[in-house]
């Protein structure tokens, strides 16, 4: 854990290369092409879609992939809007085929993401033919490194075999409030002790790194003390948040097994009186980048969650999060559904760059981080 953190990751070839060869066009797109502004912005967009097969994915969505308006896709098993367990995940073979099909549509290799923490946050469920998983709380309470390593290796191997290259795990929120509806109450935290969180999260990170899966620490700057769930509304942690919630992010963010970090939509008046973390330059740039020295990729939490979506307009969300320092804007498209979110986001961000409210330099910074990762994946 003492090794100096290197700007982004040097990993073995990611799993989507095991599911299909990178085309010459894809390789050129991530190595020699000089991108235009909209291409760079497109790489910053990760979005969810519907469809169990590539044939079921809508023509509009595939067209946006083909034209470089989507840099990543996140898959779910449950469709929240339709309230049915029919979205993207049905069986191991089906998921692998779907991911391969999506990659073939893309001019630049896609980030393929899943939330596979284990326990309640578990998209790859046994009922679909996937191995059993356990919660972070179970592993932290057991405190057996061999058990944690067993489940970590199972998760990493599974993600690689299916073609995922990003896992939005581990959650490194410290369990300061066991009744927190989004964290403690559903057993997503390893422990109330930051050192225990680091110990067990580090094992998962190491296993995923070995299999070419990008780990994503969440939810910065800490969601474990919250008394509300940011999926459904404002989540103000001002009275409850403790500075020690930063310890796992600082420690694991500088580890040799390089990682990404996902923001939280929590509000903390003591850190930023105006904006929740995802939209806060004081928190993402000031604390995460400058104070903690994190140089890797920053993902937003789902931009359609009510903690931000109900308070701020679409353009404000885009402008503030990018200027805060977010590199990849995640639209799960599962709390609400809009097939054309990528195109709308790119058009809005392009106008902001033209007006000067977002600088082209800021877009270039995120694009360069993303490009660096995707280039390394094909070496």
Beta-bridge partner residues of 111: 72
Domain 15-376 fold is TIM Barrel (3.20.20)
Q: What pLDDT score does 22 carry?
A: 52
Q: 194-210 and 145-162 helices cross at what angle (nearest 10)?
A: 40
Q: What pLDDT score does 307 carry?
A: 79
The residues near 71 (Cβ < 8 Å, ≥ 6 apart) are 42, 43, 44, 45, 46, 108, 110, 111, 328, 370
CA-to-CA dists, residue 327 to 12, 218, 239, 278, angstroms: 22, 15, 29, 11
Q: What is the DSSP letter of 267?
A: B
Interatomic CA distance for residues 242 and 191, integer angstroms: 15
Cβ density class 228-267: b for 16+ within 10 Å, e for less: bbbbeeebbbeebbeeebbbbbbbbbbbebbbbbbbbbbb
Q: What pLDDT score does 379 carry?
A: 52
Q: Where are the domains of the chain?
A: 15-376
CB 276 within 8 A of CB 307: yes
Q: What pLDDT score does 90 carry?
A: 98
Q: Which residues of the chain have pLDDT under 50?
A: 1-21, 24, 30, 32
Q: What pLDDT score does 1 carry?
A: 40
Q: What pLDDT score does 275 carry?
A: 95
Q: What pLDDT score does 18 carry?
A: 41
Q: What pLDDT score does 326 carry?
A: 98
175 φ/ψ angles, rounded to the nearest 5 degrees: -80, 60
Residue among 157, 110, 98, 102 at smallest CA distance from 131: 157
Query: How do beta strands 121-122 and 116-118 pair?
Result: antiparallel
Q: How many CA atoms lie within 13 A of 328 on its CB side?
A: 31
Interatomic CA distance for residues 153 and 207, integer angstroms: 5
For the annotated catalytic residues, the residue numbers are 231, 301
Q: What pLDDT score does 35 carry?
A: 86
Q: What pLDDT score does 23 carry?
A: 53
């Amino acid at each position: 854990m003492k090794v100096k953190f290197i700007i982004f990751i040097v990993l073995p070839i990611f799993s989507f290369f095991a599911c299909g060869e990178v085309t010459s066009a894809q390789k050129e797109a991530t190595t020699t092409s000089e991108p235009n502004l909209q291409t760079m912005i497109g790489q910053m967009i990760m979005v969810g879609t519907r469809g169990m097969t590539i044939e079921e994915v809508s023509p509009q969505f595939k067209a946006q992939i083909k034209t470089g308006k989507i840099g990543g896709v996140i898959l779910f098993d449950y469709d929240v809007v339709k309230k049915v367990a029919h979205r993207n995940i049905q069986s191991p073979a089906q998921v692998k085929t779907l991911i391969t099909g999506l990659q073939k549509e893309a001019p630049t290799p896609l980030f393929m993401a899943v939330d596979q923490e284990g326990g309640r946050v578990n998209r790859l469920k046994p009922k679909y033919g996937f191995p059993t998983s356990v919660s972070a709380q179970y592993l932290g309470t057991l405190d057996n490194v061999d058990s944690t390593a067993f489940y970590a290796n199972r998760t990493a191997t599974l993600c690689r075999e299916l073609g995922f290259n990003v896992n939005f795990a581990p959650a490194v929120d410290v369990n300061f409030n066991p009744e927190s509806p989004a964290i403690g109450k559903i057993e997503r935290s390893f422990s109330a002790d930051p050192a225990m969180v680091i110990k067990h999260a580090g094992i998962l990170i190491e296993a995923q790194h070995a299999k070419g899966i990008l780990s994503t620490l969440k939810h910065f700057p800490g969601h474990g003390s919250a008394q509300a769930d940011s999926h459904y509304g404002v989540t103000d942690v001002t009275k409850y948040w403790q500075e020690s919630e930063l310890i796992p992010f600082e420690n694991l963010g500088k580890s040799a097994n390089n990682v990404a970090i996902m923001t939280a939509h929590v509000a903390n008046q003591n850190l930023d009186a105006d904006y929740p973390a995802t939209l806060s330059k004081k928190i993402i740039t000031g604390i995460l980048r400058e104070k903690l020295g994190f140089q890797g990729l920053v993902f937003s939490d789902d931009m359609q969650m009510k903690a931000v979506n109900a308070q701020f307009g679409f353009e404000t969300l885009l402008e503030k999060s990018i200027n805060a320092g977010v590199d990849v804007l995640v639209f799960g498209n599962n709390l609400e559904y809009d097939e054309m979110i990528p195109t709308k986001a790119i058009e809005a961000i392009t106008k902001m760059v033209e007006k000067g409210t977002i600088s082209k330099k800021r877009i270039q910074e995120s694009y360069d981080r993303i490009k660096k990762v995707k280039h390394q994946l094909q070496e």
